[in-house]
Structure formats: C-alpha cells, structure tokens
Homo-oligomer: A and B are copies of this chain.
Amino acid sequence: MSTTASPQNLIASTFKVLAHPIRIAILDLLRDGEQCVCHLEAHLGKRQAYISQQLALLRSAEIISDRRDGMNIYYRVVRPEIYTLLDAARTINQIPIPAPIPRANDCVCPKCTNE
C-alpha cells in the first residue's frame, strides 16, 4: 500500500480501493447514511469476517469511519466525493445509479429484528 506517493500513484490507489464489487456494494448501502454492520451483513450475504475485512480496508483508506452505539457499530462515508466516482463509472457503463435504500432507523435486517 505504498510506493512513493506520486500523483499517479495517489490516483491509482483511489481507484484501487473502489475496484472491488463488495466494496462498491458497501458504499452503495451507505449512500443514504450510516448503517450497522449487521445490516451490511444481511444485505451482502457474505461472511461477517469478510465484510469486516473490507470495512477495514475502506476505513484505512479513510473513505468510511465508524461509531459504536450500544451493541452495534455503525459505519458512514466520510468522503462523499467518492460517489462522484461511482456515479461516473456507472454512467460510463450505462448502469443506472442505484435508488437509495429506504432509511431504516432501527435496523430491519433479519439479524437485528428476529428473536
């Protein structure tokens, strides 16, 4: 994650963080505000540890940050400019920008509502 920080390398690493389907999906889930990890887990259908790894990556790239609230940890995007990139990439590929996921103030994912 280093090499000398030339402009091109900086830009390249910005793209690199975004060059992953799960990370893109995570950022899309965070479009309309913070979500708890269990939410992401439920929506992405991947192992918890795996999602946590990707969150760590996005976190260390300083694109998202977290906040604990009681039992859960909530993630949010701290660099909304990256949506410019995501949206532009969608436009280029003629993919519609995803509709915002209805905000659920209290987590509605199975893990959060069941028993």
Chain B residues, CB < 8 A from A21: 6, 8-9, 11-12
Q: Dominant SS at the A interface?
A: helix
A20 touching B12 by the CB < 8 A rule? yes
CB proximity to B under 8 Å, residues A54-76: none
**Chain A: interface residue total (CB-CB under 8 A):** 31
- Do the beta carbons of B88 and A85 come within 8 Å of each other? yes
Query: Contact residues of A with B, CB < 8 Å?
Result: 6-16, 18-22, 24-25, 79, 81-82, 84-86, 88-93, 95
Docked complex Cα distance between A103 and B22 (Å): 41
Which residues does chain B contribute within 8 Å of A18, judged by CB atoms?
Answer: 11-12, 15
